[in-house]
Structure 1
Amino acid sequence: MGSRPVSRTAHFVLHVLPRQVQAPARSGEHAGERAAERVDAEAPLKALGQPASLTGLVKLSTGEGAEADVLVDDFVTEIPEAGRLAWRLGLVLPKKQAKRSVTRSLIRHQAREALRRHAPAVLAQGRHGEDVDGWVLRLRAPFDRTRFPSAASDALKALVRQELDELWLRLTVPASAGARFTKESSPSVADSTGGAA
């Protein structure tokens, strides 16, 4: 991962993604000039001597539109207290850690809800705001299958919710109160890494 973790629990790690500042367009540069700099999509077919009818297939029917800011799989939550500030949430849920898709889906839903619940408090803390583009939540250890035989049991839901709440609450603690936590500082979450759920 390209960024340092900002919070971790027995099963999860949270990374912050800094906002990427786009370079402003040079003065006097117009969209037409930038389009002229792009590689001609028809050039390879023309070079091969393909008929003009085939070169027409290369062009997209959508035309030259602006790129979308939000990807299809991104979850974006807007924070009303911050105006138009929006944070994206990326999830890394490897099959090695959660073999059953039901478990991965449960974690995905719980993670999105946790961001919705805790985003205003994290923003109010002041350490993470305009400079943050999004968050990446990574499952780092499997849940014990002997303790949670059902992939979507109420006990598993409660543990996932508890750990995610703890993960986000660590970001709301003032820096002077000790924002760095260790495993020993969180006795409420049992380390149950015996097997994949």
Structure 2
Amino acid sequence: MRAADFERVLAQRPCARTEHFVLHHLSTAKEGAAGELSTPATGASDGLVDEPLRFGLVIPKRHARRAVTRSLIKRQGRNAFQRGAGGLRAGDWVLRLRSPFPVAQFPSAASHALRTAVHGELATLFLAAASGARR
């Protein structure tokens, strides 16, 4: 995914939002675009992709200072996307960290409490995006 692809998706209104994350979506008509994006199978039993889904992450260093924290958020974001991909519309999706997690509440960069908080927020975010897709 090139910078222009991210810019187009981020120019759209967020389709779901939590306290720390925002999820943007842009429908695309093109099929099988290549890039550094995750493309999970959406229900096909033979492993082929029915509809193209592309996923990108924006985790700014100003919101997550330590690399281990950014990696944790990226890994959990990819996993949440793969779990929720069945209910999402085809197109480009970008997950953006919009505010930092409080250091006073989560002093360790990869603590169990931070993992649980990120997991819960991402589950809520993708559930809201999937329910919005069914409207």
Structure 1 length-normalised TM: 0.56
In 1, Cα distance between equivalents of 2:13 and 2:37: 21
User: Once the 2 structures are TM-superposed, how far is the Cα of residue 75 of structure 1 from its aligned partner?
Assistant: 2.0
Which structure's CA Rg is the greater one? Answer: 1
1:85 is paired with a residue whose SS is coil
The reply to whether residue 8 of structure 1 matches residue 25 of structure 2 is no
Which of 39, 47, 51 aligns to 1:85? It is: 51
Identity of aligned residues (%): 42
* Contact 2:17–2:23 (CA under 8 A) maintained in structure 1: yes
* Contact 2:20–2:99 (CA under 8 A) maintained in structure 1: yes
In 2, Cα distance between equivalents of 1:166 and 1:83: 25
Partner of 1:70: 34
Go from structure 1 to structure 2 and tell me whether the alpha carbon gap of 1:134 and 1:83 turns closer, same or farther (over 3 Å shift): same
Which of 110, 113, 118 aligns to 2:84? It is: 118
**1:13-61 deviation line (CA, Å, top 9, x unaligned):** 0000220459xxxxxxxxxxxxxxxxxxxxxxxxxxxxxxxxxxxxxxx
In 2, Cα distance between equivalents of 1:144 and 1:86: 36
Q: Which amino acid aligns with 1:92?
A: V
Name structure 2 gaps, 5 residues minimum. Answer: 1-9
* Contact 2:15–2:132 (CA under 8 A) maintained in structure 1: no
In 2, Cα distance between equivalents of 1:9 and 1:157: 16
The root-mean-square deviation of aligned C-alpha atoms, in Å, is 2.4
Structure 2 length-normalised TM: 0.80
2:39 is paired with a residue whose SS is strand
Q: Which amino acid aligns with 1:95?
A: K
User: Once the 2 structures are TM-superposed, how far is the Cα of residue 85 of structure 1 from its aligned partner?
Assistant: 1.9
User: Once the 2 structures are TM-superposed, how far is the Cα of residue 173 of structure 1 from its aligned partner?
Assistant: 3.0
* Contact 2:40–2:49 (CA under 8 A) maintained in structure 1: no
| Alignment: residue pair count | 123
